[in-house]
């Protein structure tokens, strides 16, 4: 109920979603679409690949 009151009194300052975020719910923050997931997990995937390469050398 508090959100409704904030909207009516003009104190709500959230921005509307733009671009693909407004169309697809899975493409928002912490999204599950392939593009967003790969961008978010880039660092971890690089570490995993490095570890696998080191294991192959041994």
Percent of the chain exceeding pLDDT 70 equals 98
pLDDT above 60 for 1: no
Mean pLDDT of the chain: 86
CA distance linking residue 2 with residue 11, whole number of Å? 11
pTM score = 0.55
Instruction: Please give the radius of gyration of the chain, using alpha carbons only, rounded to the nearest integer.
Output: 20
Model pLDDT for residues 25-50, shown as the tens digit of each residue: 888 888 888 888 898 999 999 999 99
């Amino acid at each position: 109920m508090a959100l409704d009151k904030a909207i009516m009194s003009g104190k709500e300052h959230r921005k509307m979603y733009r671009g693909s975020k407004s169309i697809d719910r899975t493409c928002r923050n912490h999204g599950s679409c392939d593009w967003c997931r790969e961008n978010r997990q880039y660092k971890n995937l690089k570490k995993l690949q490095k570890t696998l390469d080191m294991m192959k050398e041994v």
